[in-house]
Amino acid sequence: MPFDPDEIQWNSACVIGPDGHLHGWFDMRVSAGALRRLGLHPDQPTAGVTGTSPPGWWHAAAERRAH
């Protein structure tokens, strides 16, 4: 794994929603130093978008499938 145990943190939660179904999510945090090592920190030029955005239909299709 590219991260040391003290460089990454994750938490999860689960609740019963108004529809009676369980809804869960998780939060993941990685230290800035670990991201810099991999060239992924936002302050680095390699973390920027280098290509064009997908067409509008692609975004709409992704949103439809998300529900």
Report pTM: 0.48
Residue 45: per-residue pLDDT: 67
So what's the pLDDT on residue 60?
84
Burial of 46 (0-12, 13-18, 19+ CB in 10 A): exposed
Phi, psi of 8 (to 5 degrees): -135, 140
Return per-residue pLDDT of the chain as tens, 67 residues. Answer: 578 889 999 899 999 999 999 999 889 898 888 888 887 776 766 666 677 877 888 888 888 887 6
